[in-house]
Structure 1
Amino acid sequence: MLFNILTVATLLSAVSASPVPVPQVEIAPVYAFDITNWHAGCQRECFYGFNITGNTFGQYPTIPAFSAECLGEKEGADYRKCTFNDGGSENRTLVAKLLPVNQTGTGAHLQVSYGWTDSEQAHTYYNYTGYANPKYNAAAAPNANFTIIPQEMFGVGGGEPPVA
């Protein structure tokens, strides 16, 4: 009996000392808007300016890449169209706005919305919208860079993906 207990104890210590394989989990890439040169402040009215890019992402529907500049003012104003810098197709729209802020000193509440139609699939439209709360930095800080991960996504129309 003593032999069996010692044998079991030795085997258990050998098993616990050997490394246990860790399952490998593949983390799916996340689609994001990259914001650079964020510059915003409030004097009489609030204003903002920034560059924004998004990479081609995913399979059908593939999100088209873009590069643009966004300028706007006034918290609570309507969306302002951003200007594309990449010369891409005209089937895309990029807009931004500052959401109203009910408290002072909380920084900006930015909303960015990117939409496009699929040129290979009739009557389709896709939209990705994201939010960020960057600081107003015009008075005392350098331009900022940050990332927005869209939280709202939708698509309408279409049907089956195009046959390659």
Structure 2
Amino acid sequence: MFPLALLTLLSTTAFASPLSPTPRQTSSPEPSIPPNWTWHVTGWHAGCARTCSYNFNVTVPTIANEIGGVKAYCSGYESGNTFTRCQILEGANNGVSAKFGPRDEGAGSPKEVFLSFEKGGFEERPPYNFTAKHEAVFNAFVAPLLDFDVTPTEVVAVV
């Protein structure tokens, strides 16, 4: 059959090799919010009739060698706890979404608007999701369009 030397070699090789692949170690740093990173909202218009709606533009600035910025147009309605994707006007590989926050008990309209910026994943790094919020001002038919700044306060890695 098989010579003893060959059987010894095969059994030694089998024990020397791992039974399952070793997971690759990743050294992705924890996501953090860049200092002084302010997003600019222009043309804010929001109102409530049967439901509440909004539309506005947002500029998320580039952070050199770290985050590619975008300009986006956002338009949506109250949708529970679901973000609505915004249309990217400039920039690539990153996304922007928005939603109204929940209504306070007894309040006639949502209290806040939330904006979300997703920094796309790359190689071993997962995507990051940055979130900012601002008081929801309802100016439809009664006041001019508004401009304001928001600063992200939360960041999470999307896995």
Normalised by the length of structure 1, the TM-score is 0.67
1:142 aligned to 2:148?
no
The structure-2 alpha-carbon separation of the partners of 1:75 and 1:124, relative to structure 1 and needing over 3 Å to count, comes to closer
1:4 corresponds to: none
C-alpha displacement at 1:76, in angstroms? 2.6
C-alpha displacement at 1:156, in angstroms? 6.1
Instruction: Give the Cα separation in 1 of the matches to 2:64 and 2:158.
Output: 17
User: Is contact 2:97–2:115 with CA below 8 Å preserved after alignment?
Assistant: yes
User: Is contact 2:129–2:158 with CA below 8 Å preserved after alignment?
Assistant: no
2:48 corresponds to: 42
Counterpart residue type for residue 39 of structure 2: F
CA-atom RMSD, angstroms?
2.3
The structure-2 alpha-carbon separation of the partners of 1:77 and 1:29, relative to structure 1 and needing over 3 Å to count, comes to closer
Instruction: Give the Cα separation in 1 of the matches to 2:151 and 2:158.
Output: 21
2:119 corresponds to: 116
What count of residue pairs does the alignment treat as equivalent? Answer: 125
C-alpha displacement at 1:64, in angstroms? 1.2
The structure-2 alpha-carbon separation of the partners of 1:151 and 1:106, relative to structure 1 and needing over 3 Å to count, comes to same
Q: List alignment gaps of at least 5 residues for structure 2.
A: 1-33
1:73 aligned to 2:91?
no
Deviating above 3 A after TM superposition, structure 1's stretches of 4 or more consecutive aligned residues are 105-108
Structure 2 residue matching 1:124: 3-state secondary structure: coil
Instruction: Give the Cα separation in 2 of the matches to 1:156 and 1:70.
Output: 22
Structure 1 residue matching 2:127: 3-state secondary structure: strand
1:32 aligned to 2:38?
yes
C-alpha displacement at 1:69, in angstroms? 0.2
The structure-2 alpha-carbon separation of the partners of 1:106 and 1:58, relative to structure 1 and needing over 3 Å to count, comes to farther
* More off after superposition, 92-101 vs 122-131: 122-131
Q: List alignment gaps of at least 5 residues for structure 1.
A: 1-27, 158-164
Instruction: Give the Cα separation in 1 of the matches to 2:142 and 2:38.
Output: 27
